[in-house]
Amino acid sequence: MPELPEVETVRRGLAPVMEGNTIAKALVNRPDLRWPFPERMAERLTGARVERLRRRSKYILGDLDSGETLLIHLGMTGRMLVSGDALGRFVHDHPAPEKHDHVVLDLADGARITFNDPRRFGAMDLMPTATAEQHPLLAALGPEPLGNAFSESHLVAALSGRTMPIKSALLDQKIVAGLGNIYVCEALYRCGIHPGRRVSRLSAKRIASLVPVIRQVLEEAIAAGGSSLRDFRQADGELGYFQHSFDVYGREGAPCRTPGCTETVHRIVQSGRSSFYCPSCQR
Ligand SMILES: [Zn+2]
């Protein structure tokens, strides 16, 4: 499932192709993904110029000159493919249509954006740009982890009086937006905090230590995505999926990477999701 860095990589891949470009033709091949598409979506997209492509949490938001904003959520298996890019940054030929190509946007300069999603947990919606932040998917979101509002004082205050495990707190989208399982596991490892540790039993100093580390793990992953973007000219134009090297995530039974530690990475299940951690380094 794409997390914030993958979504940001997709956004950065799409932005130079879409921003300033007009959607000459929109093809919508089915009535819904996770939810129904908005009414007359193809018609409302056709002829609209994409002014800006931004990201909020794991949502890509395309502000259109029609006064509407296109919301794109990749869900579990959603993929964005770029083809026919007039600037030659991506593959030149449009691929043959595939079974799960649900939305195809042909841009005025010949580029094509294809949204393919086999499991259809993704979503697209259109809303007035002026009230985009009030969209049901966006309204309750906490601050962006890479933005200024996500500060040490914010996190300490948001967790004050709470008793849940720190892992659950960091996955709570109202506390901080867009963090997922992988990067929470990595941040907790780097801070030496056990994922099951109750928030009420963590000092303000240890909670505050998470803020710069969360930014760091996300920024490193985005940088890795950026290096994968540079290889797309030879690749198939698919954006946003790249191999990370994780310290704990997915490494159950493998040796802990902390110098001098002889433990292995353990896995526990919290709220139905796997947490990976080192029982010696994380308390
Ligand atoms: Zn260790």
3-state per-residue secondary structure call for the chain:
CCCHHHHHHHHHHHHHHHCCCEEEEEEECCCECCCECCCCHHHHHCCCEEEEEEEECCEEEEEECCCEEEEEECCCCCEEEEECCCCCCCCCCCCCCCCCEEEEEEECCCCEEEEECCCCCCEEEEEEHHHHHHCCCCCCCCCCCCCCCCCHHHHHHHHCCCCCEHHHHHHCCCCCCCCCHHHHHHHHHHHCCCCCCEHHHCCHHHHHHHHHHHHHHHHHHHHHHHHHHCCCCCCCCEECCCCCCCCCCCCCCCECCCCCCCCECEEEEECCEEEEECCCCCC
In CATH, the number for domain 4-134 is: 3.20.190.10
Is the per-residue pLDDT at 233 higher than 60? no
**According to the model, what pLDDT value does residue 23 have?**
98
Tokens of 280: 């010696």
Give residue 230's pLDDT band: very low, low, confident or very high (50, 70, 90): low
Give residue 232's pLDDT band: very low, low, confident or very high (50, 70, 90): low
**Beta-carbon neighbours within 5 Å of ion ligand 1:** 256, 258, 261, 263, 278, 280-281
Give residue 231's pLDDT band: very low, low, confident or very high (50, 70, 90): low
Is the per-residue pLDDT at 186 higher than 90? yes
* CATH entry, 152-277, from 3.40.190.10, 3.40.30.10, 1.10.8.50, 3.20.20.70: 1.10.8.50
Could you tell me which residue, 140 or 93, shows the higher pLDDT? Answer: 140
Tell me, rounded to whole angstroms, the distance of Cα 107 from its chain centroid.
24
**How remote is the CA of residue 253 from the centroid of ligand 1, in Å?**
12
Residue 279 annotated as catalytic? no
What is the average per-residue pLDDT within 25-48?
97
Is the per-residue pLDDT at 107 higher than 60? yes
**According to the model, what pLDDT value does residue 254 have?**
97
Catalytic option among 11, 55, 58, 112: 58
The residue extents of the domains of the chain are 4-134, 152-277
Is there a binding annotation on residue 94? no
Give residue 91's pLDDT band: very low, low, confident or very high (50, 70, 90): low
**Confidence (pTM):** 0.92
